[in-house]
Copies of this chain bind each other. A is one copy, B any other.
Amino acid sequence: MIRLDTQDAGFADAFAALVDARRESSDDVSRGVAAIIARVRAEGEEALVDLTRTLDRHDLNRTGWAIDPADCAAAYEALEPGLRAALDLAAARIRAYHERQKPADSDYRDDAGVRLGARWRPVDAAGLYVPGGRAAYPSSLLMNAIPARVAGVERLVMVTPTPDGQVNPLVLAAAHLVGITEIWRVGGAQAVAALAHGAGRIAPVDVVTGPGNAWVAEAKRQSYGVVGIDMVAGPSEIVVVADGANDPDWIAADLLSQAEHDTVTQSILFTDDAGFASRVADAVERQLSTLPTGAVARAAWDANGAIVVTTTLAEAMPLVDRLAPEHLQLAVDDPQALFDRVRHAGSVFLGRHTPEAIGDYVAGPNHVLPTGRRARFASGLSVLDFMKRTSFLGLDESALAELGPATVALAEAEGLPAHARSVALRLRLNR
């Protein structure tokens, strides 16, 4: 953890270094991923069997390619009732929030008599990657599948590795809850390749979303354009802006909730109270000693954590914008005044009683958010990621008479005579 003060000489350089610090893996997996994609395209199912045998240590033709929806239903029924109710609550609230994202079509006639508009339609099929092992989160499955469902996607396909053939019952339960019935036991770059290009029994999809390791992320990046993908995701991050009136333990827990995800995550506190800064630092140390995920969280906090002391909280806001954080908590009595100054953030958590973790699970907004300063230009996952817009245009003879001559002039100026001719013929101009 580094501690900075805006009044220190050298603050500007130190903060710039914090902004520019790259936490993303620079491992060159791209050649390996390209080879896997090429293999899946050439060999189809055979490549999947072979790679799964090597990487996940089971034989798809023995364990079975698909996970039976009946197994998902059974996993859901077997959930401890409190947990099942929590999952139900989360799904219902995520659905309600995303229903409001459905875009409106337009269809109107303008002064020139031209009919204009745009029509949104869901993609035909979406593929959802769900990691295996430790990072297999049912909440992620809900956050990816529900927007697709709300968009109206008819075919929703899940791929997930099952190392040694083992499935994760929580993930199966979540799949049942959102009604996914096509589930393949394949993972890694080869699963993304199968979704993008198709491979035997796995028919290709139009959009691939969902979290994964560096190989999965690179496979999605290389498949961009063949299919749509959600944003390239990097390590998670949280920025907390807090005044001295907060309970240091609450804020410390918020910082650690990000740190426990992975050793490359980042947690940053901005405060206008130097004493509070120290109390939070102490509370972090105290909590780390009892946290079951303390080893990971400590590594992340030590390497990437920061506390920045500013003269006022207003002074913090342009600094926060430069970080464009994935998660931003504004832990003050009147968060609106600070929120009004935020330009770049994935999601904002307003006030002292809105810890970021609420947004990870049950609040409703999507927890798939732009990381690594991408909130400058990217948005969280939404219903729009599973839809596309078709514009349209209709002219009658009189509208064409009004717009045609300008089209002819521009097409000729651009050296495109067939463009000009397609209009001129209809206007009975001699060209």
Q: How distant is the Cα of A394 from the Cα of B256 in the complex, in angstroms?
A: 20
Residues 396-422 of chain A, each 1 if its beta carbon lies under 8 Å from chain B, else 0: 110110011111011101111111111
Question: Do B391 and A376 touch (CB < 8 A)?
Answer: no
Let me know if B422 and A365 touch, CB within 8 A: no
Say how far A88's CB is from chain B's closest CB, in angstroms.
9
Name the residue in A254, A400, A423 with the highest tally of chain B Cβ atoms < 10 Å from its Cβ. Answer: A423
A244 within 8 Å of B (CB atoms): no
Given contacts A110-B96, A374-B225, A139 and B410 within 8 Å (CB-CB):
yes
User: Nearest Cβ distance between residue A182 and chain B, in whole angstroms?
Assistant: 18
What chain B residues lie within 8 Å of A291 (beta carbons)? Answer: 417-418, 421
Interface residues of A in 348-405 (CB under 8 A from B): 348-351, 353-366, 369-370, 374-380, 382, 384, 388-397, 399-400, 403-405
A348 near B391 (CB under 8 angstroms)?
yes
A69: Cβ under 8 A from any B Cβ = no
Q: A137 vs B411: C-alpha distance in the bound complex, in angstroms? A: 9
B377 touches A227 (CB 8 A): yes
Residue contact B118 to A393, C-beta cutoff 8 Å: no
Contact B396 A257 (CB under 8 A): no
**Separation of A96 and B116 alpha carbons in the complex (Å):** 11
Set of chain B residues within 8 Å of A425, measured between Cβ atoms:
247, 249-250, 253
For residue A307, give the distance in angstroms from its CB to the closest CB of chain B.
Answer: 17
For A426, what are the chain B residues with a Cβ–Cβ distance below 8 Å? 250, 353, 355
Q: Does A343 contact B (CB under 8 A)?
A: yes
Does chain B have a CB within 8 A of A179? no
Q: Interface size class for chain A?
A: 35 or more
Interface positions, chain A 296-316, Cβ under 8 Å from B, are 297
Flag if A380 contacts B391 (CB, 8 Å).
Answer: yes
Number of copies: 2
Stretch from A5-13, A35-43, A79-87, A156-164 contacting the other chain: A79-87
Contact between chains at A357 and B411 (CB < 8 Å): yes
- If the complex has contacts A406-B361, A425-B247, are A414 and B123 also in contact, measured as CB distance less than 8 A? no
How far is A306 from B248 in the complex, measured between Cα atoms in Å? 70
Note all chain B residues with C-beta closer than 8 A to A417: 260, 291-293
Contact: A346 with B293, CB < 8 Å? no
Q: How far is the CB of A30 from chain B (nearest CB, A)?
A: 10
The reply to whether A351 and B419 contact each other, CB–CB distance below 8 Å, is no
Task: Check if A235 is an interface residue, CB within 8 A of chain B.
Answer: no
Among A73-119, those with CB < 8 Å from B are 82-83, 85-87, 89-90, 93, 96-97, 100-101, 106, 110, 114-116, 118
Instruction: Indicate if A224 sits at the interface (CB-CB under 8 A).
Output: yes
- Chain B residues near A356 (CB, 8 Å)? 422
| Min CB gap A354→B, angstroms | 5
Beyond A360-B411, A361-B411, A377-B388, list 14 extra A-B contacts (CB 8 Å).
A85-B406, A121-B343, A121-B344, A124-B343, A138-B413, A207-B377, A227-B377, A256-B421, A256-B422, A257-B416, A291-B418, A353-B399, A375-B390, A379-B388
Closest 7 CB pairs of A and B: A350-B394, A86-B406, A228-B377, A365-B391, A253-B422, A379-B389, A225-B232
